[in-house]
Amino acid sequence: MSVDNFQKEKEGLTPDNGFNLVGIDYFSDIGNQLYLVEHFEMYQDALNAKKERKNSDEYFILYKGAGGEFFCR
């Protein structure tokens, strides 16, 4: 997946408020490999949900910072 496509997908799935748990589907077409698993209001809840996944490395948390910048953990 190219970095530009990946970045556009991440920005499209980043919520204005709260935290989104996002997964990666390596078998989907480029540009559609990320998918929303669940939205959380608290970071700790999103982190716990990520840790509960079988392959937690295939999931990450997207959110916006106070200045509107995009973060991925």
- Say how far apart CA 44 and CA 46 lie, in whole Å: 5
The bridge status of strand 59-64 relative to strand 70-72 is antiparallel
| pLDDT tier, 1 (very low <50, low <70, confident <90, very high otherwise) | very low
Q: Name the percent of the chain lying above pLDDT 70.
A: 93
Specify the pTM. 0.87
Q: Is the pLDDT score of 20 beyond 80?
A: yes
Inform me whether the pLDDT recorded for 45 exceeds 90.
yes
Listed by start position, the domains of the chain span 3-29+47-72
Distances (CA, A) of 54 to 12, 23, 28, 29: 25, 12, 20, 23
Answer whether 33's CB lies under 8 Å from 1's CB. yes
